Amino acid sequence: MNQPQVWDAYSKSYHNIEKNPAGFQFSLLNMLRLNEADEQTILQQTRILDAGCAGGHLHQYILQQRKQKCRLTAFDFSLEMTKIAAARMIKYFNNPLHGQIEDISPQEIENADISIFETHHIDCPLLEKNNYKIFQGDVQSLPQLNENQFDIYISNLVLQLVGNKDQAVQEAFRIIKPGGKIGIVIPVVQGNAPMLSLQQCFIKAGLIPNNAYKPTELENREGLINFMNKHGFKDIICWNQTIPFDLLDIDNNYIFPQFREILEKAPKEQVDQFYALFKQEIQNRLTQNLPFTVEALSLIAKKPL
Ligand SMILES: C[S@@+](CC[C@H](N)C(=O)[O-])C[C@H]1O[C@@H](n2cnc3c(N)ncnc32)[C@H](O)[C@@H]1O
């Protein structure tokens, strides 16, 4: 289910979600003290990696926090996502005085001045000049990246999707410098109200079995801390965070890719039943004056010196 093509097809909808991101990543970046100078590193050379970056909605924020003083590398295994990120950053570098998270139109994405190498590196002199690199890659295997390369590795809401989580974290450990930091966020299914509501409606409409989604062992603090310890990370800080998620617009952007795929293949009758149930769920929330809330586990840690 977690295939690049699925995320390619979802990239435009995700782009809508990125206009209004859940917000875990901002706490993560604060905890990583992204805006501080690293004493051991010459400011300009601080190297940051965003693993599974989607349409790159964090990138302007990172650059602004660092006052442009870093080298930002990003990748996603969906090529369509990387094109959106590249187009967004081209627009940003062409007009860096725009202070806000920048929006881009489908036209601007289409017309972005990029070429794509066979290795799926996006080539653009403007991005190069601004120390920004983006490519298509898989967190589980990153032969494109040398060991001990990055001061900060960020991965927001990606690890939960990955088949081989051990391999993904081993790769992260390999490419982070000794003394470098990692920051990750994974959603907690049980604390994820939209996800639970969606699941319930799918189950009631007979679209998935009752036991379709189970929490992984990483979805509790102890499990996640042990996992990162096992892979050599130290100085771990791990916290739960619950925040409102303002995405009640079911028609535009609400259906996550794994659910969307199921709906596309299901008989119309069941799909209609699902939508009726889910609209009712949304209505119930609104009548209680409640937003949907999502919960995630976030973690920062260091690779020992
Ligand atoms: C929920 S989105 C999170 C995106 C982004 N980090 C953010 O903060 O919004 C998950 C992203 O991870 C990407 N992804 C999933 N599996 C991946 C993998 N094995 N390697 C690289 N990217 C992956 C998807 O293409 C998608 O863009």
Residue-wise pLDDT tens digits, 221-232: 999 999 999 999
Task: Identify whether the C-beta of residue 174 lies closer than 8 Å to the C-beta of residue 236.
Answer: no
Residue-wise pLDDT tens digits, 112-134: 777 776 667 788 889 999 999 99
Q: 262 by DSSP, 3-state: which?
A: helix
Residue-wise pLDDT tens digits, 264-295: 889 999 999 998 998 888 888 888 888 778 89
pTM of the complete model:
0.87
Q: What is the mean pLDDT of residues 151-169?
A: 95
How many A from CA of 139 to the centre of ligand 1?
Answer: 9
Mutate to test the pocket of ligand 1, among 1, 20, 76 (most ligand atoms within 8 A of CB): 76
Q: Which helix (H) or strand (E) holds 192?
A: none
Atom of ligand 1 nearest to the CA of 18: 9
Question: Measuring from each residue's beta carbon to the nearest atom of ligand 1, which residues come in under 6 Å?
Answer: 2, 7, 21, 25, 52-54, 58, 76-78, 81, 138-140, 156-158, 161-162
Task: Identify whether the C-beta of residue 127 lies closer than 8 Å to the C-beta of residue 134.
Answer: yes
Nearest CA to ligand 1 atom 12: 52
Nearest CA to ligand 1 atom 20: 138
Closest to 302 (Cα-Cα) out of 212, 221, 235: 235
The 8-class DSSP code of residue 261 comes to H
> Helix, strand, coil % (nearest 5) of the chain?
45, 20, 35
CATH second-level architecture of 4-189+215-245+291-302?
Answer: 3-Layer(aba) Sandwich (3.40)
How many A from CA of 82 to the centre of ligand 1?
Answer: 10
Mutate to test the pocket of ligand 1, among 11, 81, 161, 256 (most ligand atoms within 8 A of CB): 161
Nearest CA to ligand 1 atom 8: 156
Nearest CA to ligand 1 atom 18: 138
CA atoms of 271 and 215, how far apart (whole Å) = 25
How many A from CA of 157 to the centre of ligand 1?
Answer: 7
| pLDDT given for residue 153 in this prediction | 98
